[in-house]
């Protein structure tokens, strides 16, 4: 095998392996551990060890009638554009986008988002993106 073919097939194999690792289903209520530092969780804080208390999104959900109200809070102080939570994103159990809220640190002193979903059940993922400490993910089971 020529060197170029070897490199080409090795790169393709690595990409396929990463794709498969992201499609494997996680156990209910658990965020899958990423390959490397793609995002951070309570159990996988990576290079930001010790930052989970102020960066991990907290999910509260209430069902009433045919609607599910989801409140996402990140207990992080907003220091203007110097250090703040950029946005919250909600993903469904299949990691598909549901909603997002972007923050203006000049106007919003606390990163809190409220979302209304049509009768949702299953695992819900909340992402909190900090401009200095990257992307943090937590999950909750919505009954």
Locate tokens 């020529």: which residue?
2
Phi (first) and psi of residue 54, to 5 degrees? -110, 0
What pLDDT does residue 13 have? 45
Categorize the per-residue pLDDT at 15 as very low, low, confident or very high, splitting at 50, 70 and 90.
very low
In the chain, how many domains are there? 1
52 with 35: CB under 8 angstroms?
A: no
CATH of the domain at 132: 2.60.40.730
* Mean pLDDT along residues 15-39: 53
Whether residue 16 has pLDDT greater than 60: no
Q: Over 50: is that where the pLDDT of 127 sits?
A: yes
Longest dimension (CA), the chain: 64
pLDDT at 107 > cutoff 80:
yes
- Predicted confidence at residue 32, as pLDDT, reads 63
Q: Number of C-alpha atoms within 13 angstroms, CB side, residue 3?
A: 0
Count Cβ atoms within 10 A of the Cβ of residue 128 and give its class: 0-12 exposed, 13-18 middle, 19 or more buried.
buried
- Per-residue pLDDT, averaged over 42-66, amounts to 94
8 Å CB contact between 103 and 85: yes
Above 80 in pLDDT, residue 27? no
Domain of residue 41: give its range. 3-142
Residue 142, strand partner residues: 122
Residue 4 confidence (pLDDT) above 70: no
């Amino acid at each position: 095998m020529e060197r170029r073919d070897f490199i080409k097939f090795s790169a393709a194999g690595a990409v396929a392996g990463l794709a498969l690792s992201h499609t494997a289903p996680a156990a209910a209520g658990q965020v899958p551990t990423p390959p490397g530092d793609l995002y951070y969780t309570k159990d996988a804080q990576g290079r930001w060890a010790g930052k989970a208390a102020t960066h991990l999104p907290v999910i509260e959900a209430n069902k009433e009638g045919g609607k599910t109200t989801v409140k996402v809070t990140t207990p992080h102080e907003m220091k203007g554009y110097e250090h703040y939570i950029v946005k919250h994103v909600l993903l469904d159990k299949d990691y598909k986008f549901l909603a997002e809220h972007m923050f203006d640190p000049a106007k919003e002193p606390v990163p809190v988002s409220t979302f209304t979903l049509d009768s949702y059940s299953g695992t819900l993922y909340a992402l909190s993106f900090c401009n200095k400490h990257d992307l943090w993910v937590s999950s909750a089971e919505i009954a």
